[in-house]
Amino acid sequence: MINSTQVSYFTLSAYFDTGLFKYLFFIIIMFLYILSICANVLLIVIICMNRSLHEPMYLFLCSLCVNELYGSTGLFPFLLLQILSDIHTISVPFCFLQIFCVYTYANVQLCNLAVMSYDRYLAICYPLQYNTCMTSNKVAMLIALIWLYPFIQVAVMISLSASLQLCGNIINKVYCDNHPIVKLACFDTTVSNIYGLVNTFFIVGGVVTLILYTYMKILKVCFSGSKQTRQKAVSTCTPHLASLLNFTFGGFFEIMQSRFNMNNVPNIGNRNFWKKISKI
């Protein structure tokens, strides 16, 4: 039996030999990383330099861009290193550090999108009271809450996972994830599971409920208002909805892949497949 004091590293078993294609993957991911960095830095600079953009909507967008920089830096450099490496291992401290970055990024992103939907709800449904409701102090408080709560929540989750005794060190993923580590535990993981479910209920359930409520109200105003009102609602809500749908579908797929057994799903990305392709 292997316990937590004996595990000094984790093996990421989802990597496989792709031959020369690994350089193609490296170039693609490097391009996406550089593109993400440049786009988000550019938006942050524009918002900070232009005083006319110092409004709640753009400040929340700036927070979203900062989080994108944080999340991409916490994941992409590690993926790039692992793609070129022949040994796919990661030390336990660095693994939990990556879990912290990935999970806080996801939670901050979700909370940020919820606050942005609330902001659009006030701007469209209560335009005359908007400046009174969305004061600078309230914006600062919301941004602080967007970042503070996820960091505390994830820190507690990691402290529970790090204290578990493990009976293995193989993670079937390309990066560190909390749920596969909990599944490696030798003993009862009830506390970790309950904590995870409660936080999922409060964050995902609460955020989704808030977003659905705000957009139901926005749609109600759109259908009952003038053509100009509908155009304004569509122009201000479309970028937010695009970000929300993109993040939601990606997060849903990741949760399904992590929580449920995907071994029976046909996999064309096996080692023999890539060996044959690389010889063509």
- pLDDT tens digits along 21-65: 788 889 999 999 999 999 999 999 999 999 888 889 889 989 999
**pLDDT at 234 exceeding the cut of 50:** yes
User: Does pTM top 0.85 for this prediction?
Assistant: no
The beta strand positions in the chain, using DSSP E, are: 9-12, 89-91, 170-171
**Is residue 124 within 8 Å of residue 232, measured between CB atoms?**
yes
**pLDDT at 262 exceeding the cut of 70:** no
How high is the pLDDT of residue 63?
A: 93
How high is the pLDDT of residue 206?
A: 79
DSSP class per residue in 70-113: HHHHHHHHHHHHHHH-S--EEEHHHHHHHHHHHHHHHHHHHHHH
Q: What does the alpha-carbon distance between residue 26 and residue 18 come to, in Å, rounded to a whole number?
A: 11
How high is the pLDDT of residue 52?
A: 86
Higher pLDDT, 182 or 274: 182
Can you tell me the mean pLDDT for 164-168?
A: 84
Rg (CA), the chain: 22
- Picking from 110, 126, 112, the residue whose alpha carbon sits closest to that of residue 220 is 126
Which tokens in the block code for residue 39?
A: 């786009």
